[in-house]
Chains A and B, each alone.
Chain A
Amino acid sequence: MEVGQMQRRLAEFTKSMFMEGFLDGQFLQLQQLQDESNPDFVVEVVSLFFQDSEKLLNDLTLALDQQNVDFKRVDAHVHQLKGSSSSIGAQRVKNACVVFRNFCEEQNLEGCMGCLQQVKQEFYLVKNKFDTLFTLEQQIVAAGGSIPAMEITSF
C-alpha cells in the first residue's frame, strides 16, 4: 500500500475513534504537545496510561474481591483511573469511571463489580484501537511518510 493510502486510512481511523466516542478533545491537546523535540510524546503518554491502568485494574479486582471491601480505597483507585483516562482523552473509560464512583459512594458492591467489568471492557477496547493506530503510524513512517496533522474541528 502506498503512503498516501496509508495516511488516508490513518486519518479515517483516527476520525472514527472520535466519532465512536473513544477519544475526545483532550487527545487533540495531547497531539499538539508533540513536536520535533518530543516526537514520540503521544505514544509515551498513552503507553504510560496503559501501564498505569492495567495495574489499577488489577488492584481494583483485588480490592473488590476482599471479604470486607474498602470502598474508600476502591474509590481512590477509580479516581486515579478517571484522572489518567481523562487526561489522555479516553472518553469512554472516563465515563465508565464516573458511574463506578457513584456506586462506590453508595457502597454498592454489585454495582461496583458490574462497573469494573465495564471499565475493563472499555479499557481493552480503547487499547486495541490505540494499538492499531500506532501500528498504522509506524507503517507510514517506515515507508518514509509522515503523520498528517489532525484538522481541528469540533466534535
Chain B
Amino acid sequence: MHLRAVLIKQMEATRQAESKSMSKSNAFAQASHDVRASLAGIIGLIDISYEEVSPGSELEKNLKQMESCAKDLLGFLNRILDTSKVEAGKMLLEEEEFDLAQLLQDVVDLYHPVAMRKGVDVVLDPTDGTVLRYSLVKGDRGKLKQILSNLLSNAVKFTDGGHISVRAWVKKPSLEDSILASPRSSGWERLMCLVCEKKDEDSGDEVANEFQRSPNSAEFVFEVDDTGKGIPKEKRKSVFENYIQVKETAQGQEGTGLGLGIVQSLVRLMGGDITIRDKDMGERGTCFRFNVFLAPCDAGATKLLEEDLEAGGYGAACRLGLTTRSPKSEGSHVVLLIQNEERRRTCRSYLEKLGIEVLVASQWQDLPMILKKVQMKVVNVAYHSSSGKSEMSWRIERLSKSASCKKAPGRVRGVPLRSLDGADQSLPVYRSPSPKDQAAFVLLIIDASAGPFQQIFMAVTEFRKLIPSARCKVVWLDKPTMRSIDLRAIKGKLDPDDIIMSKPFHGTRLLRVIRLLPEFGGSLQKRPSEQVKARPVQNAEAAKPLAEETGNTSREKPLSGKRVLVVDDSEIMRKLALRNLSNLGATVQLCENGKEAVQLIRDGIDELRERGVSDICRPYEYILMDCQMPAMDGFEATRKIRKEERRYGIHTPIIALTAHSSGAEVKKIFEAGMDFHVEKPANGVRLMKAISEIQSRGGGV
C-alpha cells in the first residue's frame, strides 16, 4: 500500500515536472518569436540607414557593428533555445573557413569602447604569433564568436579598472598538454586524452556530441584574462552551471546566468574544455582559459606568401621577420609611448620576439629622455679624440639631414667608435653611406592621449630635427572619436608621412605599423614635402575624403584662378563669402557697398586699357552682389555696372544675394540686370550651384 502511494506521488511529480517543462518551452517559443521580430526590425532599420550615411565615416562603421551585434543577438537567441539541444547531445557544429585572427580582433574591438568607458583597456595579445601564422581555419565561427563574446562581456561587466587581455595560441598536440577538465567530467577528460593520442579513433566516443576531430585539426588555446573582481576558488566550479551567478556583482549587474554554462557546452562541443586559471600572487581578477580544435587551412599557407596585408595575409609579417640582424644594416628602433601597461607589455614583447629593438616610455615625461637615448644610438658620428683613445665620448657635433654619417660597427649601446689608424683628427669624419651601410630606422609609436599633446608633439619635433627625415616615422595612436590631436594647436605641422591610427592598437593595425619598418618591407621613400596647408596627415584607418569635412563636394577647386568680387555691407557676410570662395579656389575682392563696387569695376577696366589689352575682358569672373546696402544698393550698382560694360562689350555674371526670393524680388533682380540669385546665407554649395547654372547657360567660363 505504501509503495503504491509513493508511486502515485512519484507519477504526480513527474507529470508536474513535465508540464512545467512544457510551459517553459511554450514561454520560450513565444518570447523568442517576439525577440526575433524586434531584432528583425532593428536589422531592417540599420539597413535603411546605410543609405543615408557617408561611406567610410565613423557612423558607417558604427552601423556595421550595430548590424553585426543584432545578427549576433539573433544567433544567441537561437543558441539559448538550443541549449537544451546541446545538453541532449543533438547540437550540430557548423563548418566554414574563416580568419581566426580577424575574428579575435573583431570581438576585442567590439568590446573595447564600452570597456574604455569604464576605464578598462581591452588588449589583444599576440603572444607567440602562432595564431597569426595559422589564422585561416575551418570551424564553427559563430559558436567561437559566441564563446569569446560571452567571456569578454562578463569580463567587462566585472572589471572596473585595469585591463582585459585576450590571448590565443596554437598548441602542439601532446598528451601532457591536454587541458584538465573540471572534475565534474573526468570521464570526458580520459576520453579526450584517448582521442588526442589516437587521432583517427573516435568510435569509442561515448559523449553525445557530433564533434569529429579531423586529423588536420590543431589545438587552439584562448585566454580571457581580466583584472576585475575575481571568482573565489570555491565558486569556480559552480559558475559553469546554468543559472548560477556569482552574487557579489557590481551594482546593477544583470544577467541570465546562462552565459558560462552555454560557453562550457559550446567549448566541449568543439572538442575542448574551459577552466579558470590561478593567477600569480597579488594579481587580481579572473583568467578563463579554453581550448578548441580547428583545422588550419592550406589556403592559409599560400596567403602567407602574399605581401598584401589587406587580404588577410596576417601571418606574413611573422614570416618576413628577421631573426638575426644582418651585420651590415642597423636594425630598427621602435619607441613606444603607450598609456596602458598591459598593452605596452604585449606590444613590446611581440616586437622583441620579431627581433626589433624596443625602447619604452612608461609615461610621457620619460619621452624626451628615451628619444635622446635613441638619438645617441642612431646617429653615428665618428669622433676621434686627439689622444687616439678608443673610448667613445658621444659628442654629436653637426648633424646633417642627409645620411652622411660614418657608421660604427656592432650594436649601439655606447659602443666605441672605430678609430682611424694613425689619424689624429678632432673633426668628425663623414663618409657617404653605401647601401649596406645605413643608419638605423626609428619608428615612434605614440599614444596621443598619453599626456598633454602639445608637449609630446614638441618633444617629437625636436627629436626629428636630429634624425634624417627618411629614417624616422611617427605613428600617432588616437581615439577615432574625441581626437586628442589638435591640428589647430600644432598649426598643422604634422609630417605628411606621419600616420594617425585609431585605437585600439593591436591586431591588423599593429601589423600594419610593423610593416613600416624596413626589415618588414617598409619603404624609406619620403613623400615630397608639400606646404602643409590642407590636412597633411594620412589617416590609416578610414581615408575620409577631405571634402566631407569642409563641405566641398569634390577635392578640386572649381573656381581656381577665378576672380570674384563680393559686395556686401555686412562684415560677417564678407567674411563668410571670403572663406567659402577661397575654399573653392577663387581669388576674392571684397567691398562694402554698390558705390565701391562700381568704382572697382571701372578701375579694373581702366587698368586693362592702360596695359594695352586690345580685347578688354571683364575684370572679374563673377560678382556676388548683396541687394540691400547703404549708399548704393545692389540693384542700382548693377545697373551702373552694366552701363560701363556695354561700352566694351563685356558682361560679368552677377549673382544677387537676397534674403528672400519672393516673385517681386526676383523680378527686380533680373530687371536690374543680374543673372542669378542665391538666398542668404550663401554657403559654398549654394554658390557653386549658382555658378554651375550660369556656366551651363554659357554665361561664364
Contact = CB atoms under 8 A, between A and B. Distances in A.
A, B bound: yes
Q: Which of A36, A44, A48, A153 has the most CB of B within 10 A?
A: A36
B576 A36 contact: no
B514 to A, nearest CB: 27
A151 B53 CA distance: 11
Given A84-B572, A143-B452, A148 B483 contact: yes
B449 interface: yes
Nearest to B568: A83
B401 interface: no
30 contacts: A3-B484, A4-B482, A7-B482, A26-B681, A29-B681, A32-B551, A33-B576, A35-B534, A35-B535, A35-B550, A36-B491, A41-B579, A45-B576, A48-B571, A79-B628, A82-B659, A83-B570, A83-B573, A84-B572, A84-B573, A87-B570, A87-B573, A144-B486, A144-B489, A145-B453, A145-B484, A146-B453, A146-B484, A149-B549, A153-B59
B1 to A, nearest CB: 76
Given A82-B659, A145-B484, 4 more contacts: A36-B488, A38-B579, A144-B486, A145-B486
A36 B535 contact: yes
A83 B577 CA distance: 13
A62 interface: no
A95 B121 CA distance: 48
Interface string B488-521: 1101100000000000000000000000000000
B interface secondary structure, majority: loop
Contacts of A86: 659, 680-681
A108 interface: no
Interface string B46-59: 00000000000011
B664 to A, nearest CB: 14
Given A79-B659, A80-B570, A87-B680, A146 B579 contact: no
B575 interface: yes
Interface string A114-147: 0000000000000000000000000001011111
A76 B628 CA distance: 9
B385 interface: no
Q: Which of B452, B488, B569 has the most CB of A within 10 A?
A: B488
Contacts of B535: 35-36
A27 to B, nearest CB: 11
B481 interface: yes
A129 to B, nearest CB: 18
A148 B533 contact: no
A88 interface: yes
B659 A83 contact: yes
Interface of B: 58-59, 449, 451-455, 481-489, 491-492, 532-535, 549-551, 569-573, 575-576, 579-580, 583, 628, 659, 680-681, 683-684
Q: Which of A30, A39, A49, A145 has the most CB of B within 10 A?
A: A145
A36 B659 contact: no
Contacts of A153: 59
Contacts of A84: 570, 572-573
Contacts of A149: 483, 549
Nearest to A79: B628
A78 to B, nearest CB: 11
B579 A144 contact: no
A125 to B, nearest CB: 19
Contacts of B576: 30, 33, 45, 87
A57 to B, nearest CB: 15
A33 B484 contact: no
B174 to A, nearest CB: 48
B583 A33 contact: yes
Contacts of A80: 569-570
A36 B533 contact: yes
A20 B531 CA distance: 42
A88 B573 CA distance: 9
A121 B565 CA distance: 36
Contacts of B487: 36, 146
Contacts of B486: 141, 144-147
Interface in A12-52: 26, 29-30, 32-33, 35-39, 41, 44-45, 48-49, 52
A52 B571 contact: yes
Q: Top 8 closest A-B pairs, CB basis?
A: A146-B486, A144-B452, A36-B492, A87-B681, A39-B488, A32-B551, A33-B579, A144-B453
Contacts of A52: 570-572
A26 B481 CA distance: 23
B484 A144 contact: yes
A151 B454 contact: no
B449 A3 contact: yes
B59 A48 contact: no
A41 B576 CA distance: 9
Nearest to B630: A76
B681 A37 contact: no
A45 B572 contact: yes
Q: Which of B449, B535, B681 has the most CB of A within 10 A?
A: B681
Given A36-B533, A38-B579, A146-B488, A29 B680 contact: no
Nearest to B548: A152
A99 to B, nearest CB: 15
Contacts of A79: 628, 659
A87 B550 CA distance: 17
Nearest to A82: B659
Contact of A48 (B58, B485, B572, B680): B572
Contacts of B571: 48, 52
A37 B481 contact: no
Contacts of B483: 146, 148-149
Contacts of B573: 83-84, 87
A49 B575 CA distance: 11
A38 B492 CA distance: 11
A86 B449 CA distance: 37
Interface in A67-126: 76, 79-80, 82-84, 86-88
A37 B551 contact: no
Nearest to A144: B452
A45 B575 contact: yes
A44 B579 CA distance: 12
A144 B484 CA distance: 8
A146 B455 CA distance: 14
Contacts of A44: 575
A37 B491 CA distance: 8
A54 to B, nearest CB: 13
Given A33-B579, A52-B571, A146 B550 contact: no
A141 B454 CA distance: 9
Contacts of A87: 570, 572-573, 576, 680-681
A83 B451 CA distance: 43
A149 B483 CA distance: 9
A45 B533 CA distance: 21
A48 B483 CA distance: 28
Contacts of B683: 26, 29
